[in-house]
A and B are shown apart, each in its own frame.
Chain A
Amino acid sequence: MPNASSLSYLRFLGMVVVRAFSGTWRFYAWMTVLTAIALVGLNAWGHQLLNGMRVTDLSDHVSWGLYIANFTFGVGLAAGAVMMVIPAYLYDDHDMHDVVIIGELLAIAAIVVCLGFIVVDMGRPDRMWHIVPGIGRFHWPVSMLTWDVVVLNGYLLINLHIAGYLMYQRYLGRTPRKRWYLPFVFLSIFWAISIHTVTAFLYQGLGGRPFWNSALLAPRFLATAFISGPAFVIVLLEVVRWSGRLTFGDGPIRTLSSIMRVTVLLNLFMLMSELFTALYTGGSHATAVTYLFFGSHGKSALVPYIWTAVALNVASAVLLYLPRTRVDKRWLIAACVCAFAGVYLEKGMGLIVPGFVPSTLHETVEYVPTVTEWKVTAGIWALGMLVLTVAIKVGLAVWTGRVRDASAPASAAAAAAAGAEAST
C-alpha cells in the first residue's frame, strides 16, 4: 500500500514540525535564545561575505583560525558519540541500548555544526557546487579535503538513516527490521573512526607544518574525541533524566565515565610524548611548541589558552579517579565540564593556530579572533543546539511511545514491539 505508507510518512514529518514548534514556556525561552544567537551569527557572516574575510583576524600567515578550530573539535564530538554505539551494539550493553538514540542524534547535530564551520570559512561559498562530485571537479582521491567531504556527509546520512528509520518504525508501532538498520550501525562505527582520522590526516600530511606533521596526530584526535563525546553525552543524559522524558538506569553513565577514565590519561600521555619529542630535541622544528607553551619572540597569545587547557585536562583526570565522583553526580558533571572545555581549548585554537606560528618562513605573526568571528562561531553552535534540542525532544517522544501514528497498534502491543527491539 504505497499510498497509505507515504501518507503516514507525511504525517510523521508533520508531527516532527509541529512538535518542534510547540512546548512549555521553558522550551520556547530556550529556543528563542538559541534562535537569537544564531541570527546574530547569520548577520555577522553576512558582513563577512560582503566585506571579505578581512573582518576576521586571519592573515596570509595564520590563514585558518577559530572556524577551523571549532570544525576540528566538532568532528571529534560527532565521532565521540560512537562510544555509545559500540557498547550498545558490539558489547550488547542493554542499558546503553536504551539511550543509544541520543548518541546518534548528537552525531547528526555535531555534523551540522562541522559543515557550518566549513561554509563560513570559505572565501567563496557561492561556488560550493565546485566540490560536488559529478558536477564540479572533485579532486579525489588526491586531496584529503575531498575525503573529508565524503566521510562527513556520509556520516551524516548514515546517522540520519539509522535514527530516522528507528524512530519512524516506533512511530508506526512496528518492530524495526534488523537488516534495515543493523548493517548501517556497524558501518557507522567504522565511519565514526574514519571522520576523525581523515580530519587529522588533513593536517598531519603537510610536510611544511612541523607542528602537525606528526604520526601521533590521528591517535590524539581519536583519544580527545572519546573524551569530549562521552563528556557531552553524560551531561546530556543528566539533562534528559532531569526533564523526566526518559527513565534509564545508571549503567550508560557508568560505562561512559569508565571510557573517559581511560581516554583522559591516554590523551595526557600522548601530549607528554609530543612535548618531550619537541622540547628535548629542540631546534627550529620545536618553535611552534615553544610558542604555544611559553611564547616566542616576545609573543605569547596562546600561552594562557594552552595552560588553561592542560589544567582542565589534568583536573578532569583527577576528578574522574576520585571515589567521590562515582557516587556524586555533581562531581561527575564537574569532571565532564572540565574535560570538555580542556579538549575544546587544546584541540581547537591550541591545535590549529600553532600550525601557522611560526609561519613557513618562520615569521611570528599572531592571531586573535575578532568579535565577528566569535559571533559567527556562537551562531553555529546555537544552530547545532537547535538541531539537537528538536531532535531529542521529538526523538524521545517517539522513542518512549508517547507519540504514535493513528494507524499504530494499541499501546500494549506497541510496548511489546518496542521491548523486542530494545533487546536486539
Chain B
Amino acid sequence: MSGSTRRVALKVLGGTLGAGAFAYAGQPVAQWAAGISLTETLRRHYKELTADEIAQLLRRLEAETKKEHGVDVRIEDVPAQEGVSFAYALNLSVCIGCRKCAEACHHENNHDRRTNNSYIRVLEMEQGSFDLERGTADYDHAVPAPGKYYMPVQCHQCDDAPCVKVCPVEATWKEKDGIVVVDYDWCIGCRYCEAACPYHARRFNWRKPEIPAEEINPVQGLLSNRIRPQGVVEKCTFCLHRTRKGLLPACLEACPTGARVFGNLLDPKSPIRWVLENKRVYILKEELGTRPRFFYFFDE
C-alpha cells in the first residue's frame, strides 16, 4: 500500500469515526429539538395576542394538560379589574410561624410536588432584631418558639420592581392592579430576575413540574397557577385567578391566626386601608426603593 492510499484510508476511517461521534454526542440535543412544539415556540408575546388568539391558546393549554396529566382543567385569563389596586399586609405580632400559608400556596398554585416548592418562605426571627442574618427558614420544632417571632416573605409586587427592569425580553411586567406577572411562554429562562429580586420571590422550573392528577388544582389562571413549563421563571401573583374574581389569596384563607390582611387600596373602607392608616407599618428593605405593596405591621 502506498503512502497516499494509506493516508486516504486513514482519513476515511477518521471521518467515519468522527461522524459517528458527532451523531452519538448530538443525540440528546436532537431529541430535545424534536420535542419542541412549533406552535408554542412561535407564539407571540401575551400583550400582542388578540382576544381570539388568547381564547385559542387557553383551549390548547387545557387540551395539553388533559393529554399530559389526564385532568380536565379550566384555564382562564382574568383581566385586572378597573378601580382595583391590590396590597397585602401581615401582622408580625400574631404570626406563629406554622407555615400553613406556604403549604396552601404549594397546593393552590400547582407547584412541583417533589421540590415541595412554595412562593412563601417563613423566617424565624430573633425577638428584638430585624437582622435577616440572625433569622432562619430551616426551623424544625414546635411553634411559636420562645424568644422568636415569624416573618413570612413572598413577592412584594414592587411598584418599581427590579425583576421587571432587568428582564431582557419583557417576559415579566406589572399589571394595572399592581401585580407582577410572567408570560411563561415568553420567558427565556436567563434568571436575571431571580438575581435582581431582593425578596427571594422568584422560582425557576429546574425540572418539569410533577403533580399527582388528583391533586391538581383545576381552577387555573393563564398568568398565574397553570402548570408551568420546564426552564422558565414563576412567582407569586397574589393568586390573581382568585383575587380578581373577588376571592381572597389562598395563603390568607389558610392562616389560622388572622395575621394576613388583603384588599383594594383604592377602596377607603377596605381592611388593608384601615391597617395602613391605623397601625405601625414596616416595609422590608424599604431603603432599596422598590416600593413594595407588601407591608408588615404590629399590634400595640
CA distance A47 to B31 in the complex (A): 10
Interface residues of B in 125-165 (CB under 8 A from A): 131-133, 135-138, 153, 162, 165
Interface residues of B in 201-221 (CB under 8 A from A): 202-208
Let me know if A46 is at the binding interface, CB within 8 A: yes
Most buried by A among B121, B188, B194, B203: B188
CA distance A51 to B285 in the complex (A): 36
Let me know if B168 is at the binding interface, CB within 8 A: yes
Interface residues of B in 1-35 (CB under 8 A from A): 14, 18, 21-22, 24-33, 35
Mark interface residues in B278-298 (1 if CB within 8 Å of A CB, else 0): 000000010011100000000
Contact of A143 among B29, B41, B137, B192 (CB under 8 A): B192
A137 near B202 (CB under 8 angstroms)?
no
B32 near A46 (CB under 8 angstroms)?
yes
B188 near A208 (CB under 8 angstroms)?
no
Say whether, besides A123-B205, A139-B168, A284-B131, A208 and B197 are in contact (CB < 8 Å): yes
Contact of A284 among B133, B153, B206 (CB under 8 A): B133
CA distance A59 to B198 in the complex (A): 16
B197 near A360 (CB under 8 angstroms)?
yes
Mark interface residues in A346-382 (1 if CB within 8 Å of B CB, else 0): 0000000001101111110000000000000000000
Let me know if A303 is at the binding interface, CB within 8 A: no
Q: Which of chain A's residues has its CB closest to B22's CB?
A: A39
| Inter-chain contacts of A35 with B (CB < 8 A) | 18, 21
Mark interface residues in A110-125 (1 if CB within 8 Å of B CB, else 0): 0000000010011111
Say whether, besides A124-B187, A137-B170, A46 and B28 are in contact (CB < 8 Å): yes
Say whether, besides A39-B22, A143-B192, A207-B198, A361 and B206 are in contact (CB < 8 Å): no
CA distance A121 to B195 in the complex (A): 13
CA distance A208 to B196 in the complex (A): 6
Interface residues of B in 154-196 (CB under 8 A from A): 162, 165-171, 186-192, 194-196
Q: Which of chain A's residues has its CB closest to B131's CB?
A: A284
Let me know if B96 is at the binding interface, CB within 8 A: no
A361 near B187 (CB under 8 angstroms)?
no
Let me know if A42 is at the binding interface, CB within 8 A: yes
Contact of B186 among A36, A63, A127, A355 (CB under 8 A): A127
| Inter-chain contacts of A145 with B (CB < 8 A) | 166, 168, 190, 192
B152 → chain A, closest Cβ, in Å? Answer: 11
B231 near A123 (CB under 8 angstroms)?
yes
Let me know if A142 is at the binding interface, CB within 8 A: yes
A76 → chain B, closest Cβ, in Å? Answer: 19
Q: Which of chain B's residues has its CB closest to A43's CB?
A: B25
B153 near A60 (CB under 8 angstroms)?
no
Say what secondary structure dominates the interface of chain A. Answer: helix
| Inter-chain contacts of B51 with A (CB < 8 A) | none
Interface residues of A in 157-186 (CB under 8 A from B): none
B26 near A63 (CB under 8 angstroms)?
no
A60 near B195 (CB under 8 angstroms)?
no
Let me know if B123 is at the binding interface, CB within 8 A: yes
Let me know if A149 is at the binding interface, CB within 8 A: yes
A123 near B288 (CB under 8 angstroms)?
no
Let me know if A52 is at the binding interface, CB within 8 A: yes
Let me know if B252 is at the binding interface, CB within 8 A: no
Contact of A138 among B138, B169, B194 (CB under 8 A): B169
Let me know if A287 is at the binding interface, CB within 8 A: yes
Contact of B206 among A54, A136, A202, A356 (CB under 8 A): A54
B292 → chain A, closest Cβ, in Å? Answer: 12
Interface residues of A in 121-161 (CB under 8 A from B): 121-128, 130-131, 136-139, 142-146, 149
Q: Which of chain A's residues has its CB closest to B284's CB?
A: A361
A225 → chain B, closest Cβ, in Å? Answer: 22
Most buried by A among B27, B169, B289: B169
B132 near A207 (CB under 8 angstroms)?
no
Let me know if A215 is at the binding interface, CB within 8 A: no
Let me know if B45 is at the binding interface, CB within 8 A: yes
Let me know if A209 is at the binding interface, CB within 8 A: yes
Interface residues of A in 310-360 (CB under 8 A from B): 355-356, 358-360
| Inter-chain contacts of B45 with A (CB < 8 A) | 130, 137
CA distance A223 to B187 in the complex (A): 34
CA distance A46 to B30 in the complex (A): 8
Most buried by B among A50, A359, A361: A361
Q: Which of chain B's residues has its CB closest to A359's CB?
A: B200
B230 near A52 (CB under 8 angstroms)?
yes
A361 near B199 (CB under 8 angstroms)?
yes
| Inter-chain contacts of A50 with B (CB < 8 A) | 28, 31-32, 35
CA distance A360 to B133 in the complex (A): 10
CA distance A45 to B31 in the complex (A): 12
Say whether, besides A137-B169, A139-B169, A58 and B288 are in contact (CB < 8 Å): no
Most buried by B among A139, A144, A145: A139
Closest A-B pairs by Cβ, 10 of them: A123-B189, A46-B28, A208-B198, A123-B231, A39-B25, A145-B168, A362-B132, A46-B29, A52-B207, A49-B32
User: What are 27 pairs between A and B in contact, CB < 8 Å?
Assistant: A32-B14, A39-B25, A42-B25, A46-B29, A46-B31, A47-B28, A49-B29, A50-B28, A50-B32, A60-B204, A63-B191, A63-B194, A121-B190, A123-B233, A126-B36, A130-B171, A131-B169, A139-B167, A142-B165, A143-B167, A149-B168, A207-B162, A207-B289, A207-B290, A208-B162, A208-B197, A360-B197
Which A positions have Cβ atoms within 8 angstroms of B?
A: 28, 32, 35-36, 39-40, 42-43, 45-47, 49-54, 56, 58-61, 63-64, 118, 121-128, 130-131, 136-139, 142-146, 149, 202-203, 206-209, 284, 287, 355-356, 358-363
Which B positions have Cβ atoms within 8 angstroms of A?
A: 14, 18, 21-22, 24-33, 35-36, 41, 45, 121, 123, 131-133, 135-138, 153, 162, 165-171, 186-192, 194-200, 202-208, 229-233, 285, 288-290
